Amino acid sequence: MLLKQQFSQHIVLDSAVLWRSVQHRPTNEISNQLGHGEAWMAYVFQRPAKDGKVRFTAMYKAENGKYRSAGTYDDEDRAQQVADESERHAHLRLAETSPGEKATITVEEFMPKFLREHAIEPNSRQRYAEVLRSHAIPYIGHRRVAEISRETFHRLLTVVLKDEGVGQPTILYARTALSAMMQMAWDHGYRDDNPLRGIRLKGVPGKPIIVATSAQFQRVYDALPHQPAKVFARLGVASGAPLCELISFTPEDFDFDTDMLSVNKSTVEVTAEFHPEGHRFLTRSYTKNGGHRRFKIDAVVSEMVQEHIEKHGIGPGQLIFPVRLFAKREASGKPRLSKDELDVLGLTDPLPNGRRYSHGTMGAYITLSAGAAAASNGAPITPATASGPGPAAWKGNGRRGGGETLRSTWELICGDAPGARQSKMPGCLLPTLRIRSGIHTLPGS
């Protein structure tokens, strides 16, 4: 009797609840139909590929009420997750990167953000960029940051780069750069882990440090070309400062009364891309290891530095070893022969086109370049491929039609070499072609 009464009460309570059917998202078609008074929200639909594999596209409602794609994924649950996050992002009108962009951005697209925002010294940032562009982007640049796996990174570092002949120190540096990039991706919500953390690679054994003897240093010192170089060498040995600190010294760093030297700056060389102001050298207000130090130097060295500053008129705040004191003053290489000296040499040996030219002339240069270009395209060097363009080809007013003139000239140079006319004009030929055709600028170059 008691059990029957409890069952009756349960029926009454259950009938008083207003139950609502569960709303299912469409899976095989895009639909914005209304269900139970509410519009469909984020959903996923199947997208068959040409190879028969089925992928899943995430859809979400944007701020304007229209549905947009948040990317296509191999896994349905992953697609649904991105769709839900994208819709939440659009609903809250957040200023951060959308979940769809985070889920689909590639390693190559993420690298500029990493190089721009990663807290690192400019010279290290430049080194990171060089290593990533040379040894990471060509292999994994097309992969998505959110989906690339630990196994892919491990194979890149242990198999692919070794097969390409990359040295172990560069591989270790590549791991450091990639790990820093994936750590930023994890910190900013692009993925859920750092796949490079814990990857073990073989280290590089250290090399012995060979210290020069006094006799060896004296031989080098005596061979230095001028006094500023000798002062530079003596101060470097006396202070033990590395090059980045040695080239940063100013007169204020020296106390000549007590022969004391303060080391508190360092200078690095970077390209304009990584310099805050687009220059070549960047002087930082701290040393290589971040600390400042002050110590006593030999009195003879201190006197040499003082005389050096006075002799070259180096004022307060100026570098005591500027580049102008070490720049080469005479022309490099052998001096150019005069016209009389070239005339004495006579003509060249017969070239592949059967002609002979005076030494140091454009005719000989363009003929040799044309023959080399034909050979690089698989054609033998013959009079037909190495004859060079005739006078009729060298036309152009430098203002209009210059590009067509150069390209037609390139076709004449290539001759009948298979596929040569469709090949790209070598950059080494452009200066010669422009001079001979009277064109000084190539449109679009």
Asked if the model's pLDDT at residue 242 lies above 60, the reply is yes
Which one, of 208, 233, 238, lies nearest residue 218 by Cα? Answer: 233
CB 72 within 8 A of CB 55: yes
Residue 28: what pLDDT? 39
Share of residues in the chain with pLDDT > 90 (%): 37
Whole-number CA gyration radius for the chain: 35
pLDDT for residue 17 is more than 70: no
220 Rama class: left (phi>0) / alpha (psi -120 to 50) / beta: alpha
User: What is the structure's pLDDT at 386?
Assistant: 41
As a whole number of angstroms, the distance between CA 437 and CA 425 comes to 15
Ordered by start, the domain boundaries in the chain are 34-104, 107-187, 214-325, 339-437
Residue 340, pLDDT score: 84
CB 338 within 8 A of CB 331: no
Residues 6+ apart with CB under 8 A from 309: 251, 320
Contact 360, 337 (CB under 8 A): yes
Superfamily of domain 214-325: Intergrase catalytic core (1.10.443.10)
How would DSSP label each residue in 214-283? HHHHHHHHHH-SSHHHHHHHHHHHHH---HHHHTT--GGGEETTTTEEEE--EEEE--GGGSTTS-SEEE
pLDDT digits (tens, 9 = 90+) for 174-187: 999 999 999 999 99
Q: Which residue has the higher pLDDT, 333 or 354?
A: 354
Helices 430-437, 362-376: axis angle to 10 degrees equals 130
Q: What is the model's pLDDT at position 107?
A: 95
Q: How far is CA 215 from CA 209, 240, 301, in A?
A: 18, 18, 18
381 C-beta neighbours (distance < 10 Å), count:
17
Answer yes or no: is pLDDT of 70 > 70: yes
Opening angle at CA 181, ends 175 and 185, nearest 5: 140
What's the CA gap between 279 and 269, in Å, rounded?
A: 9
| pLDDT for the residue numbered 14 | 42
What does the pLDDT read at residue 190? 92
Across the range 69-76, mean pLDDT stands at 82
The pLDDT of residue 228 is above 50: yes
How many other C-beta atoms can be found within 10 angstroms of the C-beta atom of residue 246?
19
Closest CA to 191 of 105, 127, 319, 308: 105
Crossing angle for the helix pair 362-376 and 402-414, to the nearest 10 degrees? 70
Whether the per-residue pLDDT at 390 is higher than 60: the answer is no
* Residues paired with 46 in a beta bridge: 56
Please compute the mean of the pLDDT values over residues 72-88 and round it to a whole number.
81
State residue 63's pLDDT score: 67
Q: Please state the pTM of the whole predicted model.
A: 0.56
Q: Which residue has the higher pLDDT, 86 or 216?
A: 216
Reported as a single tens digit per residue, the pLDDT across 29-53 is 333 333 333 445 787 878 887 877 8
Phi, psi of 57 (to 5 degrees): -100, 130
Q: Which helix (H) or strand (E) holds 73?
A: strand 67-73
Q: pLDDT value at position 430?
A: 44
Lowest-pLDDT range, 168-182, 264-278, 280-294, 382-396?
A: 382-396
Q: How far apart are CA 271 and CA 275, in angstroms?
A: 6
Of 261 and 22, which is predicted with more confidence?
261
The answer regarding whether domain 107-187 maps to CATH 1.10.150 reads yes
On whether the 34-104 domain is CATH 2.115.10, my answer is: no
Both tokens assigned to 393 = 């080809």
Q: Which has more pLDDT, 158 or 88?
A: 158
Average pLDDT over residues 388-414: 41
Q: Give the position of tokens 């250290």.
A: 206
Alpha-carbon span 187 to 192, nearest angstrom: 9
Looking at the chain, the whole-number percentage of residues with pLDDT higher than 70 is 68
In the prediction, which pLDDT does 372 show?
Answer: 53
Region 299-320: mean pLDDT is: 93
pLDDT at 72 (0 to 100):
84
Mean pLDDT for the chain overall: 75
More confident residue, 404 or 277: 277
